[in-house]
Structure 1
Amino acid sequence: MVTLGQLANADQGAMQRAAGGWMALSKEAWQAVNDIHDNGVDPLKSNWQDRVGQSAGQKLAEQARILEAGADVMRGVAMVLDGLAASTGYAQSTLNSALDLARGCNLVVDLAQGVVVPGPGQLSPDDREQISQVDRLLAEAQREATQADRQAAAELRKLGAATCLTDPDAALNQYQNEASRTELAMYQGDIPTGADPATVAAWWRALTPAQQQQLQLSEPVALAGLDGIPDSVKLDLRGGPDAKYDRVKLVQWTLDHWNDDSTNVFDDNCTNFASEALAAAGVQYKGDWTLDGDGWGKGGQSGWNWLDAHDHSHTASWAAAQNMHDFMVGNGGQEIPPDQVKPGDLVYYEEDSDQDGQDGKGVIHHTAIVTAVTPDGDIRYTQHSGDMQNGSIGGRMDAFQEGRGHQKLHFVRVQPNWY
């Protein structure tokens, strides 16, 4: 268990610098991977095609795979350290609020024991209430710090044991994915979901405005349902007073159904899944006929053999990434820069090279939903198909582009103007 004395002396800046160092190493390793392919593997395929050239190419490709695995594991380390740094900052804010309250009431806090030391004489009811308030905040600060420390330590041990990992698929899909989930779990653990509303309110007030904003971006679902959080914050999380759908419901449905095949209609259901999430959040259909070129919606099996056989039970904008992007942007939505992305926004992937044989350059081919943004600005997405819950766009992009070529990302905020 982390003591309050340890929490008071914890160096959040050192943790952030350590995270930055591991992130830099990860980027350098990925740069080396790309250099090996660009300057070694690919030229060998074109210019040295005998057995010796093939063998040299295989050796270089093997080294690139080892570096790729290391890069993704190191990215996982950076994620965990970023989570520990932010969580430590939240806990320190709670602790400082408790200490400020104690000083204002002329109370002494024993940081070693984590409690208020009553002064001499008999305590009045007001004294007891003040001591109780301080003790609750002290306990909350210690709880936050301890849960983050334990989760970070356990995850760093796992990542440390992967030092010799040479399988990039395992590094990305097992180790980095788990690190990504651990980082978000630390932020969720910082929220006093089991506390009384008065303690929750005091905890929220203890956070700086920047910290409050960070938690709204990383854990909107947990905050929106918590008694003690200001109603204005909850309303903003759901989209504001003029919202035409509930952004929290959108994120919640997405996280609950990311690996649910019950709504599948096509072999590739990424865009169908995003449309289902929007509909579950309250976005209304546009148009009464699924062949409407400027409509968005779906129907059941129509009973008309030709319609059903040609997948016309859905509008083109419902289930095709390019069509959905164009519809949403053309009907009130807007593209937004990455630094303004919030949970509930959509992300579309556009081919930006001729490397992929399936989709040509300039084609939007994939849709996912933003479900969290971490304090360092890393955007987490959830999708189906290619099932993924809270994956890191930044952490997974290099591997994705290695297989499909360079991608251009479009972040879209859906703002229906048809109702």
Structure 2
Amino acid sequence: MVEFAALRTADPGQLRAAADGWVELSKEAWQAVHDLHANGIGPVKEHWQDRVGQAAGKKLDEQARILESGADIMRGVAMVVDGWASSTEYAQRALTHAVELAGTYELEVDDNGGVSTTGEVTGDKLTHMNEVAALITEALREATQADALASTELRKLAGATCETDPEKALDQLQGEASDTQLSMLSGDIPDGKDPALVASWWASLTPEERRQLELSDPVKLAHLNGLPPEVAEELRGGPDRKWDRVKMVEWVLAHWNDDSGDFDDENNCTNFASEALLQSGVRMKGDWTVEDDAWNRGRDPGWIGLGIVGQQHSHAWGGAQNLHDFMVSNGGHEVPPGEVKPGDLVFLEDDNDLNPDLKPGNIHHTAIVTAVTPDGDIRYSQHNDSRKNVSMDGRSDHEADSEGRQKIKYVRVEPNWY
């Protein structure tokens, strides 16, 4: 259990600086990977093709794999430490607010967080004492859960320093670190059993801290008793919304690895994103899937004419480039990374000729933003390959190494057809 005095004197800035340092180390390791491929492995394979050259190329490739694994693990460390810093800041804010309330109510808080009064204990005074004590307890709970999660995850990552499998380092170790960071941030939100405590806790946060939590876990906040009603309303898209952003994130996180809605013999990443929009309230456009400017699925009588008439879905429903173009032509627009929020769509556009199956300038993949952490890292979820809340920053070098340069486009869906 984190103690009152320890939380008051903690320095989240040092944790933040440490996280930044781990990010830089990860970047340096990735730069070494790229240099090995460009200046070592590639030239050796091309110009030194005898057995000695093959052995040298194999050794360089092993070193690249070691560095790649280390880079992804170090990025995982940075995620955990950064989440720890944010959680400590939120907990300190609640604790400071509790102490300030105590002063306003003419109460005293001792070095152990105990609340007392020297005056007569009236009904109002007792209510105020309970309010301050509850907020102190909440602050210590937040700090304790973050401390426990961070300690456990960092010990695990420290024990994996000899890992040389890049796939395991990225998908398992970094993925679990990403989950831990989001769990810490979610754990900073009260359970909602005491609406008065929730109101007091929310009042303790700065506007920026509220925004950070809204981006990191909009689903939990939207269902939290005690928050001002307009908070949940804005999280869902505002009073004039045409669809529910929170409902979309909920659906994506519940179905990211569910293939029951997949179309046969297709990459279903865009079909999944379209279905998520439909489930969150976006209405289909068009009566037939063969219409040029349609976004729908399953309305044509495909059995007529042995399948010659009709198809399972419109082009915009199932194709990444087509969905992007449809949405930005029908009310939506691209947004810069710094303005992205959960419920926005992610599109990957090929920016090189490394992959012969992809053409430069072609959008070939769709995903959905499901969280944004306080350090600005965008977490996305997708189907085919199925992933949940993975890090855009943490995977960008891996994607560039395997697929080549990619342009990432974020689209905010704002339907204008109904």
* Structure 2 length-normalised TM: 0.97
Determine the C-alpha separation between the residues in 1 that align with 2:208 and 2:233.
Answer: 18
Determine the C-alpha separation between the residues in 2 that align with 1:24 and 1:355.
Answer: 27
Q: Are the equivalent residues in 2 in contact too, given 1:302–1:313 (CA < 8 A)?
A: no
Counterpart among 193, 197, 200 of residue 198 in structure 2:
200
Q: Provide the residue aligned with 2:336 in structure 1.
A: 337
Q: Provide the residue aligned with 1:149 in structure 2.
A: 147
Q: Provide the residue aligned with 1:88 in structure 2.
A: 88
Q: Percent identity?
A: 57
SS in 1 for 2:257: coil
Q: Provide the residue aligned with 1:68 in structure 2.
A: 68
SS in 2 for 1:343: coil
Determine the C-alpha separation between the residues in 2 that align with 1:403 and 1:351.
Answer: 12
Deviates more, 1:395-404 or 1:8-17: 395-404
SS in 1 for 2:334: strand
Give the letter for the 1:354 counterpart: D
2:212 matches 1:214: yes
SS in 1 for 2:375: coil
Length, aligned pairs only = 417
Determine the C-alpha separation between the residues in 1 that align with 2:65 and 2:310.
Answer: 41
SS in 2 for 1:349: strand
Determine the C-alpha separation between the residues in 2 that align with 1:244 and 1:347.
Answer: 20
Runs of 4+ aligned residues of structure 1 deviating over 4 Å after TM superposition are 305-311
Give the letter for the 1:46 counterpart: E
2:243 matches 1:252: no
SS in 2 for 1:342: coil
Counterpart among 232, 237, 240 of residue 239 in structure 1:
237
Give the letter for the 1:392 counterpart: S
Q: Are the equivalent residues in 2 in contact too, given 1:287–1:297 (CA < 8 A)?
A: yes
Determine the C-alpha separation between the residues in 2 that align with 1:355 and 1:178.
Answer: 30
Q: Provide the residue aligned with 2:271 in structure 1.
A: 272
Q: Are the equivalent residues in 1 in contact too, given 2:106–2:117 (CA < 8 A)?
A: no
SS in 2 for 1:19: helix
SS in 2 for 1:111: coil
SS in 2 for 1:34: helix
Q: Are the equivalent residues in 2 in contact too, given 1:301–1:308 (CA < 8 A)?
A: no
Q: CA deviation at 1:241?
A: 1.8
Determine the C-alpha separation between the residues in 2 that align with 1:300 and 1:178.
Answer: 41
Q: Provide the residue aligned with 1:397 in structure 2.
A: 396
Q: Provide the residue aligned with 2:5 in structure 1.
A: 5
Q: CA deviation at 1:302?
A: 2.6
Q: CA deviation at 1:103?
A: 0.9
SS in 1 for 2:224: coil
Q: CA deviation at 1:301?
A: 7.3
Q: Provide the residue aligned with 1:314 in structure 2.
A: 313
SS in 2 for 1:198: helix
2:97 matches 1:118: no
Summarize deviations over 1:306-358 as a string: whole Å, max 9, x none. Answer: 67479812001001101111111111110111000000000000111000121
Q: Are the equivalent residues in 1 in contact too, given 2:288–2:299 (CA < 8 A)?
A: no
Q: Are the equivalent residues in 1 in contact too, given 2:73–2:173 (CA < 8 A)?
A: yes
Q: Are the equivalent residues in 1 in contact too, given 2:302–2:311 (CA < 8 A)?
A: no
Q: Are the equivalent residues in 2 in contact too, given 1:79–1:179 (CA < 8 A)?
A: yes
2:31 matches 1:17: no
Give the letter for the 2:234 counterpart: D
Summarize deviations over 1:222-258 as a string: whole Å, max 9, x none. Answer: 0011111111111111111221100000111001100
Give the letter for the 1:332 counterpart: G
Determine the C-alpha separation between the residues in 2 that align with 1:33 and 1:297.
Answer: 44
SS in 2 for 1:147: helix
Summarize deviations over 1:92-125 as a string: whole Å, max 9, x none. Answer: 010011000001122111232x320332x64111
2:126 matches 1:128: yes
Determine the C-alpha separation between the residues in 2 that align with 1:310 and 1:358.
Answer: 29
Determine the C-alpha separation between the residues in 2 that align with 1:162 and 1:305.
Answer: 58
Give the letter for the 2:244 counterpart: D
SS in 1 for 2:170: helix
Q: CA deviation at 1:385?
A: 1.1
Q: CA deviation at 1:360?
A: 1.3
SS in 1 for 2:127: helix
SS in 2 for 1:415: coil
SS in 2 for 1:323: helix
SS in 2 for 1:372: strand
* Structure 1 length-normalised TM: 0.97
Q: CA deviation at 1:194?
A: 3.8
CA-atom RMSD, angstroms? Answer: 1.4
Deviates more, 1:69-78 or 1:292-301: 292-301
2:251 matches 1:283: no
2:37 matches 1:40: no
Structure 2: state its 5+ residue gaps: none
Q: Provide the residue aligned with 1:351 in structure 2.
A: 350
CA 1:307–1:384 in structure 2 vs 1: closer, same or farther (change >3 Å)?
A: farther
Counterpart among 230, 240, 263 of residue 261 in structure 2:
263
Q: Are the equivalent residues in 2 in contact too, given 1:307–1:313 (CA < 8 A)?
A: no
Structure 1: state its 5+ residue gaps: none
Deviates more, 1:18-27 or 1:102-111: 102-111
Q: Provide the residue aligned with 1:109 in structure 2.
A: 109
Give the letter for the 2:22 counterpart: W
Q: Are the equivalent residues in 2 in contact too, given 1:41–1:57 (CA < 8 A)?
A: yes
Deviates more, 1:310-319 or 1:298-307: 298-307
SS in 2 for 1:228: coil
Q: Provide the residue aligned with 1:360 in structure 2.
A: 359
SS in 1 for 2:258: coil
Give the letter for the 1:416 counterpart: P
Q: Provide the residue aligned with 1:50 in structure 2.
A: 50
SS in 2 for 1:268: coil
